Amino acid sequence: MNIFKKRLIIISIIVFLVVAGIIFIQITDKKIVEEITETRTLSDCEEIMDEYYRNYCYLDLAVLKKNLFICDKITDQDYKENCYSDIAIVQKDLSICDNLTDQTKRDHCYGYIAIAQGDLSICDKITREYYKAYCYQDIAILENNLSICDKLTDGKNNCYSIIASDQGDLSICDKIMDQDYKDSCYLWIAKDTKDLSICEKITNQDDKDYCYLGVTETKKDLFICDKIIDQENKNSCYLGIAKGEKDVSICDKVIDQKDVDLCYAYIAKAKEDLSICEEIMDEYYKNYCYRSIAIFENNLSICDKTKSQDNTNDCYRNIAISQGDLSICDKITNQDYKDSCYQLVTEAKEDLSVCDDIIDEQYRNYCYRDLAVFKNNLSICDKIINQNDKDTCYTDLAKSQYDLCICDKIKNQDHKDSCYEYLQGDILYSNIYFHNFNRYFKFP
């Protein structure tokens, strides 16, 4: 063996060991961060080689232990500031907020503590007027205190509107100067109280129509629908009452024929009455009506009433899935529908052998992939011949199990990198950091 080949082999071995080492470190680091508990110590974080995971470990542990000194170990300044801010909020310690260098983080820190303590004087420490106004508004709303709303320049109308809605107090709506906010205030109280007379106080016609529509959700009064000007909202009003009362005669008040047909189909299904389907004008909606009742009743004979073969096939497929009966799939004439039927019934039955019988390779691979993820069984992915589909199976399984080792089985380098990136980034941040944030920060 010549010297060039020897060097190439040595280099290949070194590269392999380095890559394998990096993967091992990443997996180990991820495991340490995920397993942070009250019993974890600072030394556990210090053992982490990867800076990204080490910083998250420090941040998570610092907040868990309420220890600022651990925050000081974080190398990324943005994460360090988050660490200080989180502890300040947990401990309701304004002095920590005072030392934050990032103005936005400092304002948010003040805001969290101000709202948690209901202390307007802390809101006054916020430099940005926009955030300060929201701080005042949130405390006013939490305390149902109109006098705090009066202190606002911007947001006063919204503050009144929310408190009025919470208290169901129209007199508060009357204090609002802006007509749009005032109409909105009347609208929400009318919907909550189902009081038609309040709708009459609204000046904007669209809001008034919407108010009428909201009141009919409980009153079921056609007279209210007649008061609506906008035809689309009027139709919605009639349809809502027709469906609620299961009365096809009300469907006929609707102008749009498509909506009339849909109204008939809904009531036919609700009453399980095939004769109503016969009254539908449009063939498409008539077929939809038959199919809906057939699936609802698990009745194959009704599927045969549809005039569209696609509807019939889809009807068979849905009933096959519902009953977990593969023999029904055999009634399907279209091969794509049939293979899809086998796949979906297999998933419902968790029967791998049925995947093997699917003729279309794509549906067969889908079947293997979905069953592999459902059963958390890597060996099922190995049954897929197409490499791209196999890589997709590995990727989906890796994400479902949060397992970087499965990413390593992916052949396509771009897909493999994407798999690692997904598991190392968003999943870790959302599942660990925000989960713990919600666990730590319990405001009164």
User: What is the spatial distance between Cα 190 and Cα 215, in angstroms, rounded to a whole number?
Assistant: 7
Question: What's the pLDDT at 24?
Answer: 36
- Between 9-13, 321-325, 346-350, the lowest mean confidence (pLDDT) is in 9-13
- Take residue 162 and report the two structure tokens written for it: 């929310």
Mean pLDDT of 277-290: 90
Question: What's the pLDDT at 153?
Answer: 81
| Banded model confidence at residue 203, pLDDT cuts 50, 70, 90 | very high
| Banded model confidence at residue 306, pLDDT cuts 50, 70, 90 | confident
Q: Is the pLDDT of residue 27 over 70?
A: no
| Banded model confidence at residue 33, pLDDT cuts 50, 70, 90 | very low
Among residues 295, 261, 296, 254, the alpha carbon closest in space to that of 278 is found at 261
Which of 34 and 281 is assigned the larger pLDDT?
A: 281
pLDDT of 352-369, one tens digit each? Answer: 777 887 888 888 888 888
Which of 40 and 241 is assigned the larger pLDDT?
A: 241
User: What is the spatial distance between Cα 3 and Cα 8, in angstroms, rounded to a whole number?
Assistant: 9
pLDDT of 34-84, one tens digit each? Answer: 444 455 678 888 888 888 888 888 888 888 888 999 999 999 999 899 999
Q: Is the pLDDT of residue 6 over 50?
A: no
User: What is the spatial distance between Cα 53 and Cα 31, in angstroms, rounded to a whole number?
Assistant: 10
- Between 47-51, 211-215, 261-265, the lowest mean confidence (pLDDT) is in 47-51
**Percent over 70 (pLDDT), the chain:** 86
Single-letter residue type at 216: T
**Radius of gyration in angstroms for the set of CA atoms belonging to the chain, rounded to a whole number:** 31
Q: What is the DSSP letter of 441?
A: -
Q: Is the pLDDT of residue 421 over 80?
A: no
User: What is the spatial distance between Cα 433 and Cα 438, in angstroms, rounded to a whole number?
Assistant: 9
Q: Is the pLDDT of residue 16 over 50?
A: no
Mean pLDDT of 221-230: 92
Q: Is the pLDDT of residue 183 over 90?
A: yes
User: What is the spatial distance between Cα 267 and Cα 285, in angstroms, rounded to a whole number?
Assistant: 13
User: What is the spatial distance between Cα 354 and Cα 346, in angstroms, rounded to a whole number?
Assistant: 6
Which of 352 and 184 is assigned the larger pLDDT?
A: 184
| Banded model confidence at residue 406, pLDDT cuts 50, 70, 90 | confident
User: What is the spatial distance between Cα 250 and Cα 259, in angstroms, rounded to a whole number?
Assistant: 12
Question: What's the pLDDT at 10?
Answer: 37
- Take residue 260 and report the two structure tokens written for it: 């009339």
Mean pLDDT of 174-196: 91
Which of 318 and 401 is assigned the larger pLDDT?
A: 318
pLDDT of 355-405, one tens digit each? Answer: 887 888 888 888 888 888 888 888 889 999 999 999 999 999 888 877 777
User: What is the spatial distance between Cα 421 and Cα 415, in angstroms, rounded to a whole number?
Assistant: 10
| Banded model confidence at residue 435, pLDDT cuts 50, 70, 90 | very low
- Take residue 99 and report the two structure tokens written for it: 């030392």
Question: What's the pLDDT at 14?
Answer: 36
| Banded model confidence at residue 272, pLDDT cuts 50, 70, 90 | confident
- pTM over 0.75? The answer is no
Mean pLDDT of 255-284: 90
